Amino acid sequence: MLRRDNFTGQPVRDGFLVTCLLVLLWLYWSSLDSYLSSLSNPLPMKFVFATSLLVAVIYEVKGSRRREAAIAVLTTAVIFAIAPWLAAEYREWYLGIIEELKAAEGAVDVIGAEYVRAVDNPAVGIGACFAMALATVRMPFQRVIKSILWKVFIVGKREALCPHCGQHIESKSVAT
């Protein structure tokens, strides 16, 4: 007879966590394809965005315990998977503003000819819109996402480290 514990135990949740992480990484990579579709060769920008994900993951793993690090990495993957879609929206707004500026009478006199020519480059603004999207998702929602993922993927109460002495303490709060 199968017990309910067999399906909600930590090993099953760990397997589901890894599966979710792989799906989120695939989603991130494929959403970058659509976000960078305006470029003739999107591979250099994909490399830059993959490097930013790698740096974020290394930062999250540094100094963490295994399961805590896994939740932090999954949280980062969720944020990075959402960011390209939001960045595409920001990019549309950006391109609309640029078109209005270029259409304005006397724009060359006000902002300069080199700036008007620079905004014709399809790569201009891609990184900035992506960074704004990451910040828009990460700043208000990182703790909430991490808390939800902790409740879903970790069995039992969360242990925390005392900020003063480093001893393990039992915490009733999930926020980090």
Domain annotation covers residue 83? yes
What is the pLDDT at residue 4?
47
Domain annotation covers residue 141? yes
Please identify every stretch of the chain with a pLDDT value under 70, giving residue numbers as ranges. 1-8, 156-176
Domain annotation covers residue 107? no
Domain annotation covers residue 111? no
| Pick from 93, 48, 71: nearest CA to 152 | 71
Domain annotation covers residue 112? no
Spatial contact of 79 and 72, defined as CB atoms under 8 Å apart: no
Q: What is the pTM of this model?
A: 0.77
Domain annotation covers residue 123? no
Range of the domain at 30: 5-88+134-171
Spatial contact of 21 and 57, defined as CB atoms under 8 Å apart: no
Neighbours of 129 (CB within 10 A): 22
What is the pLDDT at residue 3?
47
Domain annotation covers residue 105? no
Task: Return the ∠ at Cα 137 (arms to 154 and 38), rounded to 5°.
Answer: 125
Domain annotation covers residue 67? yes
What is the pLDDT at residue 65?
73
